[in-house]
Chain A
Amino acid sequence: MTAQIITVTSGKGGVGKTTAVANLATALAADGRKVVCIDGDIGLRNLDVVMGLENRIVYDIVDVIEGRCKLRQAMIRDKHYPELYLIPAAQTRDKNAVSASDMKRICNEIKPDADFILIDSPAGIERGFRNAIAPADRVLVITNPEVSAVRDADRVVGILEAEEKGNPSLILNRLNPALVRNNDMLSAEDVLDLLGIHLIGIVPEDEAVIIGSNRGAPVVTDARSRAGQAFRNIAKRLQGEEVPFMDLYSQGGFWGALQKWTRRK
Chain B
Amino acid sequence: MGFFSRHRSAENAKERLQLVLIHDRTDLSPGQLEALKDDLLKAISGYIDIDPQAVQIRLERDGRSQRLVADIPLRSVSRRRAG
Which B residues touch A151, using CB under 8 A?
17, 20-21, 24
B8 touches A183 (CB 8 A): yes
The minimal Cβ–Cβ distance linking B2 to chain A, given in whole angstroms, is 16
A194 touches B17 (CB 8 A): yes
A243 within 8 A of B: no
- Tally the A-B contacts, defined by beta carbons under 8 Å: 48
Interface residues of B in 9-36 (CB under 8 A from A): 9-11, 13-14, 16-18, 20-21, 24-25
Which A residues touch B20, using CB under 8 A?
147, 151
Partner of A155, one of B7, B13, B18, B24: B24
A183 touches B24 (CB 8 A): no
B64 touches A183 (CB 8 A): no
Not counting A151-B20, A157-B64, A190-B14, a sample of 15 additional A-B residue pairs whose C-beta atoms are within 8 angstroms of each other reads A147-B17, A150-B17, A154-B25, A155-B24, A183-B7, A183-B8, A183-B9, A183-B10, A184-B7, A184-B8, A184-B9, A184-B10, A186-B14, A186-B17, A197-B64
Residues of chain B touching chain A, judged by Cβ–Cβ distance below 8 Å, are 7-11, 13-14, 16-18, 20-21, 24-25, 61, 63-64
